[in-house]
Amino acid sequence: MANKISDETIEYVGILAKLELSGEEKEKAKADMERMLDYIDTLNELDTEGVEPMSHVFPVHNVFREDVASYKDGSTDTLANAPLKKDNSFKVPKTIG
């Protein structure tokens, strides 16, 4: 394996993803990520000279909606699975701002 994920990297990715990983889980995640990077290396072997970068596989563009409102009260469905709710709102731990 050419790529090596450092302990700092796995720690940082964990923080960004808001995940708390045990030592064992970190090692497993490291191995997974290394394999992914190795695969990217394989892709990098292809000659992409003159090929436009793309973000979609299908040649589809300009899919639009007209600006017409539905006016349905979505609150019941939206809040149906809320672990905690109050005053028609999701209740979450206190945040700043």
Q: Give contact residues for other proteins (rule: CB under 8 A).
A: 15-16, 18, 55-56, 58, 60-75, 77-79, 84, 86-97
Distance in Å, CB of 43 to other proteins, minimum: 16
Residue 27 in 3-state DSSP? helix
What's the distance, CA 2 to chain centroid? 25
CB atoms within 10 A of CB 80: 8
For residue 86, the SS3 value is strand
- What minimum distance in Å lies between the beta carbon of 44 and other proteins? 18
Minimum distance from CB of 87 to other proteins (Å)? 6
Quick one: 36 or 92, whose CB is closer to other proteins?
A: 92
Closest CB to other proteins among residues 48, 62: 62
Strand partners, 31: none
